[in-house]
Amino acid sequence: MKTYNIASLAGDGIGPEVMREAIKVLRATEKRFGFKLVITDAPVGWAGIDFAKKALPDITLDICKRSDAILFGSVGLPDRDATIPKEERPERAALLRLRKEFGLFANLRPVKLPKLLAHACPLARERQGDGIDILVVRELTGGMYFGQPKQTEDLGGGIQRAIDTMVYTTPEIERIAHVAFRAAQLRRKKLTSIDKANVLENGILWRETVARIGKEYPDIALDHMFVDNAAMQLVLKPTQFDVLLCENMFGDILSDEAAALGGSLGMLPSASLGSTSGAGTFGFYEPAGGTAPDIAGKDLANPIAQILSAALMLRHSFGLNDAAAAIESAVEHAIEAGNRTGDIFSPAEPNARRVGTRVMGEAIAAVV
């Protein structure tokens, strides 16, 4: 029987509650589809600091290295111990460290607004068509956030000058373009590449490179859009988009804008992928939201983002498309059956009932 090794890093706040439900759902797919998941829990974030005085304990990193994928909850509790410096706090010492360690260069953020949750979307219903369904593919390790030089200089006379450098090489653009084209092949086969080719050298190279790679994918309809127009089109007519391909900073901004259309952070999964090695792609899968300290430990969190992150893991790291699709369809069923955590509940919906984290997770696992 095919076996996959998963490092389960639940982290802080709502992390452990939503992870517990995601694992329940994974166990249900295991039974139905006949594969074996070896899931190893490891502490991270404040849980790591409590365990080994480190946000990413050595044992946790070791477990991650021996796994085929990481299923991550979230880390960070803003009110904890202000004396711990920011480099040692979980957001940097665990999250950024893991991204770097595993060379995670591709971030995938699907945003899906089911028609039944139209009330949770800030856009007028007539702009939502039959439901919004977009995948933002963001380059994660290049561009302005990492380019050198990156510094603030003193020019004298009380004047300072800050420099950030936007840099991309063709191989960096090529590898993220391949990720986006392959993702589009699993969806509606449309790819919109975002750039600022009218003013940035990077934009010209981005557009030329994506267009060249696009010739290898004749089944995908490719178009190009300037980032400022894309920001506008996302709120005017989001249904025109299938896959959006963005460099790092544009993707950072547009993926949050797209996320707002999804109704709740509690519904949004994400995948960060490294290079393909052997049969699978190493990946890091986590909800788009954080630790939600305001609702942690109260059975109020929506586990769907974590559960859909687990589905992305099955699809992108293990190639288990049927099992991933079964989870996604079980989420839709649970919503159609009226289950709503507080973040997606509206008293105006006649058949909806408010449920907790546990009941939502169980409803989804039962359908799988």
Binding residues for ligand NAD (CB under 6 A): 14, 18, 74-78, 91, 95, 265-266, 286, 289-295, 301-302, 305, 343
* Catalytic choice (115, 145, 164, 189): 145
Would you state the structure tokens that stand for residue 7, as one six-digit string? 């490092």
Contacts of 334 (CB under 8 A, 6+ apart): 360, 363, 364, 367
Counting every residue, how long is the chain? 368
* Catalytic choice (50, 62, 223, 228): 228
Question: Residue 79 catalytic?
Answer: no
Contacts of 129 (CB under 8 A, 6+ apart): 239
Question: Residue 145 catalytic?
Answer: yes
Closest CB to ligand NAD among 220 and 360? 360
- Find the helix packing angle between 321-336 and 304-316, rounded to 10°: 160
Q: State the Cα–Cα distance between residues 219 and 214, nearest whole angstrom.
A: 9
Taking the CA atoms of residue 367, residue 305, residue 14 and residue 70 in that order, the dihedral angle to the nearest 10 degrees is 100
* Catalytic choice (115, 189, 190, 196): 196
Closest CB to ligand NAD among 6 and 307? 307
Contacts of 139 (CB under 8 A, 6+ apart): 105, 106, 107, 168, 172, 173, 176, 246, 247, 248, 251
* Catalytic choice (62, 223, 256, 322): 256
Shortest Å distance, C-beta 32 to ligand NAD: 25
Question: Residue 168 catalytic?
Answer: no
Closest CB to ligand NAD among 99 and 182? 99
Shortest Å distance, C-beta 287 to ligand NAD: 6
Question: Residue 299 catalytic?
Answer: no
Shortest Å distance, C-beta 51 to ligand NAD: 17
Closest CB to ligand NAD among 250 and 345? 345
Would you state the structure tokens that stand for residue 265, as one six-digit string? 């952070």
Shortest Å distance, C-beta 304 to ligand NAD: 8
Question: Residue 256 catalytic?
Answer: yes
List residues with catalytic annotation.
145, 196, 228, 252, 256
